[in-house]
Amino acid sequence: MTTAITLPLDSLSAHELYPFAWSEIEREVLRRQTLGAQQALQEFLGETVEQDVHGIEDLHHVAVYLGDYTDDRDVEIWHRFLLELKAQGTLSKVQYGPSYVAPKYYGTQGWWFSLERAEGLSVEVFCCRHHGRWSRYKPEQRYRLMSHAAVSVSTADGVERALSALTSQLGVKMLMHTVEDELGHTYGHLLNETTLCVLELVHQG
């Protein structure tokens, strides 16, 4: 068996690949961290942008698509794998819940895992049920649609202004928008249908 895999996994039933998938997730976080928030915005738009535009500061977290599943038990096995990483000290916090975006926009169920690492940026990991319209997307498309960089914006009002400015551009649409959640965070997820990139803007209240 080779350890040279490329996400997304064909199926979460490949439990033996979880350690290698985690290594690949960490490499993607490092790549994003090296490029920074400005490059994340440029990748999303597919064009060069002015420095410090829209009040964007640093990266807030990185989201990575793990792969599809057909058996709910595999989602729980992945969760237990993450809890093992927490027990080993690699992660300091593990939370998960059902995806809002997957059923609304792609006609399938999904899960998010919010992970705080012992060192470095936090990471979110997503997986979706291999079902319906979603199953007809190519693996690369699935990865791009569910993976993204989240960038910090200095104020909640700044998030609103940035979302308004970006959604005024052709092909950019809002996927999700939350104002002052239970933790006081304001954030929005955007999809650029031309670049097939997702960007999240967040102000941590």
Domain boundaries, the chain: 15-203
What pLDDT is stored for residue 140 in this prediction? 94
Q: What would the two tokens of residue 196 be?
A: 């097939």
On average, the pLDDT of the chain sits at 92
* Cα dihedral: 176, 63, 114, 73 (round 10): 100
What pLDDT is stored for residue 5 in this prediction? 61
What pLDDT is stored for residue 4 in this prediction? 53
Q: How is the chain classified by DSSP, letter by letter? A: --S---SSBS-TT-GGGHHHHHHHHHHHHHHHHHHHHHHHHHHHHTS---TTGGGEEEEEEEEEEEEEES-HHHHHHHHHHHHHHHHTTSEEEEEEEE-SHHHHHHSS-EEEEEEEESSS-EEEEEEEE--HHHHTS-HHHHHHHH-EEEEEESSHHHHHHHHHHHHTSTTEEEEEEESS-TTS-EEEEEEETTTTEEEEEEE--
What pLDDT is stored for residue 3 in this prediction? 47
Residue type, 67: G
**Cα separation of 81 and 88, whole Å?**
11
Q: What is the pLDDT of residues 105-140, one digit of tens each?
A: 999 999 999 999 998 899 999 999 999 999 999 999
Averaged over 20-40, what is the pLDDT? 94
What pLDDT is stored for residue 50 in this prediction? 75
Averaged over 16-33, what is the pLDDT? 96
Which of these ranges, 17-21, 60-64, 73-77, 183-187, has the smallest mean pLDDT? 183-187
What pLDDT is stored for residue 53 in this prediction? 73
Q: Comparing C-alpha atoms, which of 203, 199, 192, 149 is closest to residue 31?
A: 149
Fold of 15-203: 2,3-Dihydroxybiphenyl 1,2-Dioxygenase; domain 1 (3.10.180)
**Cα separation of 80 and 132, whole Å?**
27
**Cα separation of 49 and 44, whole Å?**
11
